[in-house]
Chains A and B, each alone.
Chain A
Amino acid sequence: MKSARPDPGAFRDPGGRVLVSDDRVLRAIYELNAPAYRAARELGLYEKLAEQGLLVPAREVPTGELGPYAAQAEHALEHPRLPFLSYPYEWSFALHRAAALLHLDLHLAALDLGFTLSDATAYNVQFAGTRPVFIDHLSLRPYREGELWDGHRQFCMQFLNPLLLWTAAGVPPNAWFRGSLEGIAPEDLSPLLPLRKKLSWTVLCHVVAQAALQRRIVAKGNGDPSPKKRHLPRDTFIALLKGLRGHIERMRPPVGSTVWADYAQSTSYSSEEVEAKRAFVHRMVETTRPTMLFDLGCNTGDYSEVAFAAGAEHVIGFDYDHAALDQAYTRFRDSGRSFLPLWLDAANPTPSQGWAQGERQGLAERARADALIALALIHHIVIGRNVPLDMAVGWIVGLAPTGVIEFPPKSDPMVARLLSSREDVFSDYGEEAFLSHLGRHARIVATQRVSEHGRLLAWYDRRI
């Protein structure tokens, strides 16, 4: 594996490394984790958990496959490559809850087999379509009777507290989580929760009591409770996990209509316009046959569905509206389609950050789309966020070599609505300028006017 490089987000465990190349994912297991790995192998742990859909499959390969990284390794594993890596601050409510439940289910299944998890980082849960799956095999190690749950605080910070911020305070956690990659601490969340929400047993115990204990320890400066002497009976451990599971399973997203969830019903689109857009998108996808397609501004996934019908294998749907994303999640959850709905502010996409500004990769670094659709999006970037038209076109085209961009002119009612509350300083915003900018980046394969107000679809291809 000559072109393999260490995954920039998998370095915290000194017992192993993950190596990635364009088509393979390998895991080196070092001396520190070798005994735990051998115990798991003897039990068939990975196979049992993978059969239940909880863990990414693994197969042992010769350490020589690791190439220049083979020297330290005692064992090597190969995993199937996931279509896209996402981060918890890109998840909608439904995805975050599904990830939390997966984590608890995996831990309960592992305990049943005599293993436990050494941490509880949400970055170890990834999505294959809408289905969550655990990816870090070396977090699994044999359980020692009476030991504490090492990942308890991390679980609270990265799963429970973000979900509580959503359900108990009505605030999406994404912006906070993105700025605080370790999650939301109980000490920070506790003062923000309304009193009546604190009366829940789960909140009282895992947030209020934990925060109060932590504050008291900090106040006393006594940080050495000697964890080795502490004891948590196995039954209590399991009850703790089940109690959290029950609470999280009962969580519901905050109610209330949002701007976009009922967008398709509230817009001025005629059925002819919708049909014309569907046909155009279908033609582009059918011709280009993308393995990975980005649907920018996916709303509830109408055109992602068209893309699947036309032959797209994986679709990542991006939107700014959580309710729309959750509706898209529900739409595709049981469909068998590989659709992943992610939260994105197009004017401020996910940056590269974390250790050495590379641990968590930005959208551009992870974007390996073969095609994209950006319908009813560009006016929000240009007029809504004051990004010059040429820069907006350049950014969109940079995400995939081919795709369809919709351009709504100023005569369009939706654009007029955007302009109604502000001065029109967008003299460059027009169809001619749009096509000119697009033509500088790519060949324009086809265009089609799809509405009486002048909306235009443009199919570009920058490979030819």
Chain B
Amino acid sequence: MRRVTYCAILSLPISLGLSAPAYAYLDPGTGSIILQSAMGAVAGALIFGRSHLQRLKEWVGHRGRKSGKPDVRDASE
């Protein structure tokens, strides 16, 4: 999970804007909110991708066994 968060952090755009005058009515926590949402979204996407990768691996493994190749992992257990 920690790796996922780090990936989320690294995936954030870091080429963001330059300084500008502060507006008194802007919530100073807005940057934090967007940052956390981005981390949540990226982490979610990575988990989604990882679970699909796992399914793909399982599918490939299943086809491999059906084609007659011995499953070394199962045999060793």
Q: Chain A: residues with CB nearer than 8 A to chain B?
A: 146, 148-149, 152-153, 156, 185-187, 201, 204-206, 208-221, 223, 225, 227, 230-233, 235-236, 238-240, 242-243
Contact = CB atoms under 8 A, between A and B. Distances in A.
A153 B29 contact: yes
A143 to B, nearest CB: 15
Interface of B: 1-2, 4-6, 8-10, 12-14, 16-23, 25-37, 39-41, 43-44, 47
Nearest to A212: B16
A216 B44 CA distance: 25
Nearest to B37: A230
Contact of B12 (A185, A205, A239): A205
A225 B22 CA distance: 17
A243 B8 CA distance: 12
Given A153-B28, A223-B27, A243-B2, A209 B14 contact: yes
A218 B2 contact: no
Given A223-B23, A240-B39, A205 B33 contact: no
Given A148-B33, A219-B20, A240-B36, 4 more contacts: A187-B19, A236-B43, A238-B1, A243-B2
Nearest to A233: B40
Given A152-B36, A214-B28, A240 B5 contact: yes
Contacts of B32: 152-153, 156, 210, 214
Given A152-B32, A218-B26, A230-B36, A236 B17 contact: no
B23 A230 contact: no
Contacts of B6: 201, 243
A219 B32 CA distance: 16
Specify which of B13, B22, B35, B44 lies most central, judged by the most chain A CB atoms within 10 Å of its CB. B35
B8 A209 contact: no
A197 to B, nearest CB: 14
B1 A205 contact: no
Contacts of A209: 9, 12-14, 16, 35
B33 A230 contact: yes
Given A209-B12, A223-B25, A232 B31 contact: no
Among B4, B8, B14, B31: residue with most chain A CB under 10 A: B31
Nearest to A152: B32
B36 A215 contact: no
Contacts of B19: 187, 215, 219
Interface majority SS (helix, strand, loop, mixed), chain A: helix
A186 B29 CA distance: 11
B29 A239 contact: no
B48 to A, nearest CB: 11
B21 A218 contact: yes
Looking at B4, B21, B33, B47, which has the most chain A CB atoms within 10 Å of its CB?
Answer: B33
B52 to A, nearest CB: 17
A130 B33 CA distance: 34
Contacts of B14: 204, 208-209, 212
Nearest to A239: B5
Nearest to A242: B2
7 contacts: A209-B9, A209-B14, A215-B16, A216-B17, A218-B22, A232-B36, A239-B1
Contact of B35 (A201, A213, A223): A213
Contact of B31 (A146, A201, A213): A213
Contacts of B22: 218
A415 to B, nearest CB: 49
A152 B33 CA distance: 8
Contact of B18 (A152, A156, A215, A243): A215
A185 B28 contact: yes
A236 B33 contact: no
Closest 3 CB pairs of A and B: A214-B31, A212-B16, A223-B26
A247 to B, nearest CB: 11
A221 B22 CA distance: 9
A64 B53 CA distance: 62
Given A236-B8, A242-B2, A243-B5, A213 B28 contact: no
Nearest to A235: B1
A442 to B, nearest CB: 49
Contacts of B4: 236, 239
